[in-house]
């Protein structure tokens, strides 16, 4: 009986491990493979034969794994380049040595490309009995072809909860308050849009809609004039018409001596402060917490991720 290999790649989410748990569980219920190996640190570790035997994981461990954020097997940023034939040869060697029939690989667009490259290589070299299965995961929800990606729903839930709760907080005083919540999403506005599930967000800035400073400030002024407050959600990938990220460009625009800080949220704060439209601006960058906050996993998300492995 041949074996299976599961591994993880790219940025973590709070539910990737549920897919690994699903693969292990499925083989326990209906043993198709002799062993289910976990490859540590994705391709990077597999090339070094860093394996961990997951075959007989207990039910308790399986349940804990489903609720553990990030990548329990470790991840990598190693890219398997099509022109680097040595890596491909080495990988098929390792698969032969361990009699691995199927490799399940979780990840985003780059990892799915790795799966495609390995399948193409096997087809081209008439290598039989080696298959590659991509298991999509990304919090950004920007994977092509599929309807939605495991990882997104939990991050979206955390963002919506945080948006609603920080909105409650920003609302307590009578003074002027402008609050900016910065979410992930370099090229896709899904995570920022999750903030709108609350119904309390006044303005949103997405990568998909080029940022126009004048239009934005005019909209902001309307909210300030009306209620002296404005709650804004911005995506880290917010950019101008010419493609320049807000986070990269604003230092050139700042002529008032304000320090230019990290991300798009801080850049937007500088734009607002420099324009004089508002005096008090608070920024919260949700950073790593939004993709790893497993204590508020979406049940749908973790179930789908588990079933993906099953």
Is residue 256 a contact residue for its own copies (CB under 8 A)? no
Closer of 75 and 141 to its own copies (Cβ): 75
Q: Which of 53, 110, 140, 169 is catalytic?
A: 140
Which span (53-61, 85-93, 109-117, 293-301) binds its own copies, by CB under 8 A?
A: 293-301
Is residue 77 a contact residue for its own copies (CB under 8 A)? yes
Q: How far apart are CA 278 and CA 265, in angstroms?
A: 15
Is residue 291 a contact residue for its own copies (CB under 8 A)? yes
Footprint on residues 5-24 left by its own copies (CB under 8 A)? 8, 12, 14
Q: How far apart are CA 15 and CA 307, in angstroms?
A: 12
| Concatenated DSSP letters of 112-126 | HHHHHHHHHHHHHTT
What is the CB neighbour count within 10 angstroms for residue 244? 14
Tell me the closest approach of the beta carbon of residue 291 to its own copies, in angstroms. 7
Tell me the closest approach of the beta carbon of residue 259 to its own copies, in angstroms. 6
Tell me the closest approach of the beta carbon of residue 136 to its own copies, in angstroms. 18
Which span (86-94, 191-199, 235-243, 260-268) binds its own copies, by CB under 8 A?
A: 260-268
Q: How far apart are CA 162 and CA 80, in angstroms?
A: 37
178, 284 in Cβ contact below 8 A? no
CA atoms within 13 A on the CB side of 41: 9
Determine which residue in the list 119, 228, 274, 287 makes contact with its own copies, applying CB under 8 A: 287
Q: Is 110 considered catalytic here? A: no
207, 188 in Cβ contact below 8 A? yes
What is the CB neighbour count within 10 angstroms for residue 61? 14
Is residue 285 a contact residue for its own copies (CB under 8 A)? yes
**CA distances (Å), origin 60, targets 14, 17, 25, 46, 65:** 18, 14, 12, 27, 9
309, 20 in Cβ contact below 8 A? yes
Determine which residue in the list 6, 76, 178, 201 makes contact with its own copies, applying CB under 8 A: 76
Is residue 58 a contact residue for its own copies (CB under 8 A)? no
Closer of 84 and 168 to its own copies (Cβ): 168
Tell me the closest approach of the beta carbon of residue 101 to its own copies, in angstroms. 26
Tell me the closest approach of the beta carbon of residue 55 to its own copies, in angstroms. 23
Closer of 52 and 208 to its own copies (Cβ): 52
Determine which residue in the list 22, 38, 39, 74 makes contact with its own copies, applying CB under 8 A: 74
DSSP symbol at 150: T
- Residue closest to 53 by CA, chosen among 27, 87, 78, 77: 27
Closer of 33 and 237 to its own copies (Cβ): 237
List, by residue number, the catalytic residues. Answer: 140
């Amino acid at each position: 009986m041949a074996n299976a290999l599961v591994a993880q790649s790219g940025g973590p989410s709070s539910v990737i491990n549920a897919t690994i748990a699903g693969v292990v569980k499925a083989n326990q219920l209906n043993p198709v493979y002799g062993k289910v190996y976990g490859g540590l640190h994705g391709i990077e570790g597999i090339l070094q034969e860093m394996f961990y035997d997951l075959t007989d994981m207990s039910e308790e461990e399986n349940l804990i794994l489903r609720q553990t954020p990030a990548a329990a097997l470790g991840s990598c940023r190693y890219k398997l380049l099509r022109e680097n034939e040595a890596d491909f040869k080495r990988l098929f060697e390792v698969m032969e040595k361990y009699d691995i029939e199927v490799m399940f690989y979780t990840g985003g667009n780059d990892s799915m490309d790795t799966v495609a490259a390995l399948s193409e290589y096997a087809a081209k070299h008439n290598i039989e009995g080696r298959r590659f299965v991509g298991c999509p995961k990304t919090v950004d929800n920007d994977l092509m072809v599929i309807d939605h990606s495991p990882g997104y729903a939990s991050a979206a839930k955390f963002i919506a909860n945080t948006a609603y709760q920080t909105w409650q907080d920003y609302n307590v005083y009578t003074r002027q308050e402008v609050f900016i919540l910065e979410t992930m999403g370099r090229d896709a506005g899904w995570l920022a849009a999750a903030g709108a599930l609350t119904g309390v967000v006044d303005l949103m800035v997405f990568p998909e809609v080029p940022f126009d400073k004048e239009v934005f400030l005019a909209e902001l002024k309307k909210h300030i004039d009306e209620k002296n407050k404005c709650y804004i959600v911005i995506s880290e990938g917010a950019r101008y018409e010419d493609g320049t990220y807000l986070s990269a460009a604003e230092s050139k625009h700042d002529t008032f001596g304000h320090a230019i800080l990290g991300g798009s949220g801080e850049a937007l704060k500088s734009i607002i402060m420099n324009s004089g439209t508002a005096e008090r601006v608070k920024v919260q960058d949700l950073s790593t917490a939004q993709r790893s906050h497993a204590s508020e996993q979406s049940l749908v998300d973790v179930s789908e991720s588990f079933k993906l492995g099953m």
